[in-house]
Amino acid sequence: MLRSLVGSEMCIRDSILHSEEMATHQQGPGVLNYTNRKPYGVVGLISPWNLPLYLATWKIAPAIAFGNTCVIKPSEMSPATAQMLGDIFIKAKLPPGVVNIVHGLGAECGQPLVEHRDIPIISFTGGTSTGVHLSKTAAPAMKKLSLELGGKNANIIFEDSDINETVDATLRSSFANQGEICLCGSRILVQRSIYDRWLCAFVAKTRKLYIGAPTDPKSFMGALISKQHLEKVRGYIELAKTEGGVVETGGDTPSTLPKANEGGYFLRPTIITGLDANARCCQEEIFGPVVTVIPFDTEEEAVKIANGVSYGLAASIWTKDGRRANRVALALDTGYVWINCWLIRDLRCPFGGTKASGLGREGGKYAEDFYTDVKTICSKL
């Protein structure tokens, strides 16, 4: 795969100069307008800890395919896969200097990368607060930014959907990778007419999930990234109780952990009910195996609750009514919407968020727009 990527680099770069957008335009007798794209040179890439290999390659591949070199800073919390990827690049004989991997803390490595005067564009995936700080740093230098930030995604389940199907899908969208995915649906909105039946089935199946070592085939969830993060997530569970929430299941350490994993950063998947949609646990990104379940009566109410947060990354809609699905999808203030599915991605499609979930889009043609600069040339013949 890597050899194919490197071998096709020149073909992709050539296509930049000869795509349909580059068609000439005659402007009266003797005047010709045409456009040209070129790579920026060196691009800065900063990837997060939660999906380290996937999100690093999501940035590296288009950056170098469109003719740039890159400096990537992986998270200090999960640096191993980036180092392994670097070793693979060396074995694949990628020319030295095309991909440069820098390890270290954000203040020591990320900050100088963003500040560097010879790096005109930055692609960052991570927390919203860090994205805000990065924006303030990059703005005075007029750097081009792509920011994929946090989310508080709604999973909207209408009464005509199949309960078993939506419960099984919601188990994945809530607790995959311990809920440490920006696209996880942490707010489950269920139409009131099926709320009790749906919640009963969801709680029952959640209680059966096995939590253990990632190397154990039985494990549905592993440990959270760190002790500090585990304490943060537990803090939100305690906060939910003070806000009037009811912990239907989870919120504690699994009792079935193997001896070798005792003392690890494990947490049972947690379902909370009884909260107002404006409660902090329904508004702030928790980024762990914790979801809130909220009833709604009408389509309009569901949209209002879904849009009633500062984030706007993604959402899922579950209904057999195609017109309703598309109507709701258009009304949601998010960058990505799934209808009757979750986490099906076509990397040719644009990806990014609105509001506090980010700035810009990457993927497909949008990656070309981000990683290249376009110039218009007008020539009098």
Quick check: helix, strand or coil at residue 189? strand
Our answer to whether residue 76 is catalytic in this structure is: no
Q: Give whole-number Cα distances, 372 to 13, 42, 358, 369, in Å.
A: 10, 11, 20, 6
Which residues share a beta bridge with 316?
155, 338
Q: Enumerate residues 6+ apart whose C-beta is below 8 A from 317.
A: 156, 158, 325, 328, 329, 337, 338, 339, 340
Residues 6+ apart with CB under 8 A from 132: none
CB 177 within 8 A of CB 219: no
Task: Measure the CA–CA gap between 291 and 103, rounded to whole angstroms.
Answer: 33
Please give the DSSP secondary-structure letter assigned to residue 261: G
Of the candidates 70, 148, 180, 248, the residue annotated as catalytic is 148
Task: Return the closest-CA partner of residue 240 out of 161, 302, 187, 318.
Answer: 187
C-alpha dihedral (267, 272, 278, 284), degrees to nearest 10: 10
148 a catalytic residue: yes
Residues 256 and 240: their CA atoms lie apart, in Å, by 25
CA distance linking residue 203 with residue 190, whole number of Å:
14
Tokens at residue 12, please?
A: 């992709």
Rounded to whole angstroms, the Cα distance separating 56 from 340 reads 28
Catalytic member of 182, 184, 281, 282: 182
Q: 191-208: string of b/e by CB count within 10 Å (b at 16+)?
A: beebbeebbebbbeebee
Q: Which residues are catalytic, by number?
A: 148, 182
